[in-house]
A and B are shown apart, each in its own frame.
Chain A
Amino acid sequence: MAAARCWRLVLRGSGLSLHTAAEAAVKAPEVTGPDVAAAPVARYPPVVASLTADSKAARQRRVERWQATVHAAKSVDEKLRILTKMQFMKYVVYPQTFALNADRWYQSFTKTVFLSGLPPPPPARPDTEPAPALDVVALRDAACDCLLQEHFFLRRKKRVPLYLEHEAITSPFLDQLVASLTGLLSARNPALANAALDCKRPVHFYWLRGEEIISHGHRKGRVDALRYQINDKPHNQIRISKQLPEFVPLDYSVPVEIPVMNCKPDKLPLFKRQYENTIFIGTKTADPHCYGHTQFHLLPDKLKRERLLKQNCADQIEVVFRANAIASLFAWTGAQAMYQGFWSEADVTRPFVSQGVITDGKYFSFFCYQLNTLALTAQADQNNPRKNICWGTQSPSCGM
């Protein structure tokens, strides 16, 4: 009796070890031979978790199988299709928003560090000759010409009322400014001469960051990833065929901390919707001009300075500029990185750099963004020390 009990206990206690012992017994005679080839031939298929069971191991295996299909996709279009074809409820992030302290929220969504001022200039290489002096007078004349043309010289069919002034005057002025400055500066920068200029082309990006417990529904109590989508429409953007050089190395560690928000993004306010997940930089993947240079954004009338001052939100003026820059430039650089085949499990091997200019027609702010990591999902972010960096200037310093 006691022997039978012990035998049953032994069997139950070491259920797995019998299997492994058997495998080891099978493999052992082949491994010990000195003239055997490196990989032993397994007689039995590998023991893995089930695919269809209702268990965490099974779910992990299904996730890994899906990730393997993404890794094995032959073209970038196919990869993007597999990553974006399943639609679930996601937060829609608007770069131009009236929400208070939106820049801190957006920094936490995109794992971005904000540094004020512009990035450090690249070290001057001794072999190249110094660049010719910048003809500031000609540039200033061109800018004044654009301003005067739209505001004064151009005769329009009807006198433009104040509430339409923004779209009827400031918008064409920004178009003209970008076109003329690009033309004038292409002598110093040959990449600008061959650049592609887009007017009001959409930019989309879809990413996952963080996790939550589902509060109600048939999946209540389970852990679900938080999904975000940005659908942006920059006023102008310049795209080039060669990538801009990096500002700082890929693994540069910034001492500044990323703000951590302790409540759900719904408090921002941010709302969930389910629709098509798109990733788009302004053109499709086949275009040779697939790297970004600069984006130009025009803030709408709703977020103008006088209105914010009337609402007693004078400190939110800078927040509006910063939030717009962080969200738009993250979406653009992230989409550029995904066009090159990187995604959250295949993190970027080189930093993606873009610049942005945000204006409301009178005040300009300049931003630079460096994307160092796309691994923002909970699984990929566990041991990821890299952070994305955004440099930016204050707006009142450059009033027109």
Chain B
Amino acid sequence: MALASRSARLALARLGRLGLGSCGAPRRGAYEWGVRSTRKPEPPPPDRVYEIPGLEPITYAGKMHFMPGLARPVFPPWDPDWTPPKFRRLPPLHEHPLYKDQACYVFHQRCRLLEGVKQALWLTKTKLIEGLPEKVLSLADDPRNHIENQDECVLNVIFHARLWHSTEDIPKRETYCPVIVDSLIQLCKSQILKHPSLARRICAQNNMLSTTWNRGFREGYPYPYPHTLYLLESANLRPHRFQPDQLRAKMILFAFGNALAQARLLYGNDTKVLEQPVVVQSVGTDGRVFQFLVLQLNTTDLASDEGVKNLVWIDSDQLLYEHFWCLPVVRRKAVVEPVGPTGFQPETFRKFLALYLHGAV
């Protein structure tokens, strides 16, 4: 029976009782009479398509509407030539046009290497040497390279970054980390008066580097040689920041990427031992602890394990200061710790300055 379903019966009853309301629907909030049961209504009977061999079925396809008595037509499956982006499915990976059989691993800024420095050294075929090279250390110790009142200036920079630069009482790491690195670079730049070749440098922030396919900048760029990479760990929460070991691994890999791009630019894409090694420096910090790195790329032949290796000098975990008190510590009405940094080490800034002046002195 066509009206065997409960809802249809109820609808008829509704219409009959209320007369035809607006478009036959009951008014809002009207109670629906009837027995409540969770039994699902039975499904509609399927329209069977009969295939009798030898007979051509006469269907209502030409009439464009249902006709009882005629057979149900079977249409060929419709293939839409355009799908909206919301419903598009990606082809399986091996049918993708850019698919290659060999897997390529992508390293980006948020990759944390689990094994840290050891993994980075293996990936880039590099040998680790503790401490900075003697050339850079001699630059650090040379008193001619020092700025006058260097310690006072660095202390002012620390105060400015940690306390003075914002109206709040205790600035957060996200603001003070870039401020301290910018101020230290500005302090190093004040040496331009002594070494005019420092003016031939430019700073590029947040640029993209992908070294296996492209070079870093377009051709004709007047400053093509990467000098130093500054990596900042400025997240406010400690779990969002990289551990020192992971930061050092990231520094090695990014310096290696820059050096490789530079080598490809100079010597072409084939793998060989370079006559003139490419040197890239890197400084990584979270505003208090500095890691210094100098990477020398001797070979682009990374497939084999033997032969000439690349070298990296690392100076890790250099504290600029132990802790910074933004508010004075007062115990029993006596100032125990005044406002300022504790455990200040001027040696760290000397190494920073040496890395900056390296190549220009």
A-side interface residues toward B, CB under 8 Å?
138, 142, 145-146, 149, 152-157, 172, 175-176, 179-180, 182-184, 186-187, 190, 193-194, 196-199, 201-202, 204, 278, 280, 282-284, 286-288
Residue B217 contacts which of A138, A155, A182, A184 (CB distance < 8 angstroms)?
Answer: A155
Q: Work out how many contacts link A and B, with CB atoms closer than 8 A.
A: 85
Q: Does B1 contact A (CB under 8 A)?
A: no
Question: How far does the alpha carbon of A372 sit from the alpha carbon of B216 in the complex, in Å?
Answer: 51
B338 to chain A, nearest CB (A): 12
What is the interface of chain B, defined by CB distance below 8 A to chain A? 156, 159-160, 163-167, 182-183, 186, 189-190, 192-193, 196, 198-199, 202-205, 207-208, 214, 216-218, 220-223
The 7 closest A-B pairs by CB, nearest first: A283-B164, A193-B190, A284-B164, A153-B221, A153-B217, A157-B208, A287-B164
The smallest beta-carbon distance between B233 and chain A, in angstroms, is 19
A183-B199 contact given A145-B223, A154-B207, A155-B218, CB 8 Å threshold? yes
Knowing that A155-B208, A186-B192 are A-B contacts, what are 12 other residue pairs whose CB atoms are under 8 Å apart, sorted by A's residue number?
A138-B199, A145-B222, A152-B218, A155-B218, A156-B208, A176-B202, A186-B190, A187-B192, A193-B189, A197-B186, A202-B166, A287-B156
Bound-state Cα–Cα, A288 to B157, Å? 11
Residue pair B163, A149 in contact (C-beta under 8 Å): no
Q: Is B164's CB under 8 angstroms from A204's CB?
A: no
Tell me, rounded to whole Å, the shortest Cβ–Cβ distance linking B128 to chain A: 31
Q: Are B193 and A286 in contact (CB under 8 A)?
A: no
Which of A138, A154, A190 neighbours the largest number of chain B CB atoms within 10 Å of its CB? A154
Chain B's nearest CB lies how many Å from the CB of A135? 10
Tell me, in angstroms, the Cα distance from A187 to B190 when the chains sit together.
Answer: 9
Can you spell out 6 A-B residue pairs with CB atoms less than 8 angstroms apart?
A: A154-B204, A179-B186, A179-B189, A180-B202, A186-B193, A287-B164
Contact of A282 among B165, B207, B216, B221 (CB under 8 A): B165
B205 proximity list for chain A (CB < 8 A): 172, 175
Which of chain B's residues have a CB closer than 8 A to the CB of A176?
A: 202-203
Chain A residues closer than 8 Å to B193, beta-carbon distance: 186-187, 190, 193
The interface centre, meaning the residue of B159, B202, B220 with most chain A CB atoms within 10 A of its CB, is B202
Q: Are A201 and B166 in contact (CB under 8 A)?
A: yes
Known contacts A183-B189, A183-B199; A199/B165 CB under 8 A? no
CB-CB under 8 A from B204, the residues of chain A are 149, 154
B276 CB → nearest A CB, Å: 24
In Å, the complex CA distance between A190 and B166 comes to: 27
Residues of B within 8 A of A282 (CB): 165
B residues near A278, Cβ cutoff 8 Å: 167
- Are B192 and A193 in contact, CB atoms less than 8 angstroms apart? yes
Once bound together, how far apart are the Cα atoms of A175 and B202, in whole Å? 11
Chain B's closest residue to A199 (CB) is B182
**A183 touching B156 in the complex, CB below 8 Å, given contacts A155-B218, A280-B167, A283-B165:** no
In the complex the two chains form, is A184's CB within 8 Å of B164's CB?
A: no
Which residues on the A side are within 8 Å of B217 (C-beta)? 153-155
Complex Cα–Cα for A283 and B183 (A)? 13
Q: Are A287 and B218 in contact (CB under 8 A)?
A: no
Residues of A within 8 A of B183 (CB): 196-197
Give Cα A280 to B218, complex, Å. Answer: 42
Contacts of A154 in B (CB 8 A): 204, 207, 217
How many whole Å from A89's CB to the nearest CB in chain B?
A: 21
Task: Tell me which of A156, A157, A284 has the highest count of chain B C-beta atoms within 10 A of its own C-beta.
Answer: A284
Residues of A with C-beta under 8 A to B207:
154-156
Chain A residue nearest to B156 in the complex (CB)? A288
Q: Is A196 a contact partner of B192 (Cβ separation < 8 A)?
A: no
A190 to B221, CA, bound (A): 30
Question: Is the CB–CB distance between A184 and B199 below 8 Å?
Answer: yes
A157 (CB) vs chain B CBs: closest residue: B208
Q: A180's closest neighbor in chain B, by CB?
A: B202
Cα distance A186–B192 when bound, in Å?
8
Docked-complex contact A196 and B208, CB < 8 angstroms: no
- Give the residues in chain B near A182, CB-CB below 8 Å: 189
* Interchain CA distance A175-B186 in the complex, whole Å: 13
Contacts of A199 in B (CB 8 A): 182
Please report the C-alpha to C-alpha distance between residue A206 and residue B174 in the assembled complex, in whole angstroms.
28
Chain B residues near A197: list those with CB within 8 A. Answer: 182-183, 186
User: Could you tell me the distance between the alpha carbons of A149 and B156 in the complex, rounded to whole angstroms?
Assistant: 32
Q: How far is the CA of A193 from the CA of B187 in the complex (A)?
A: 8
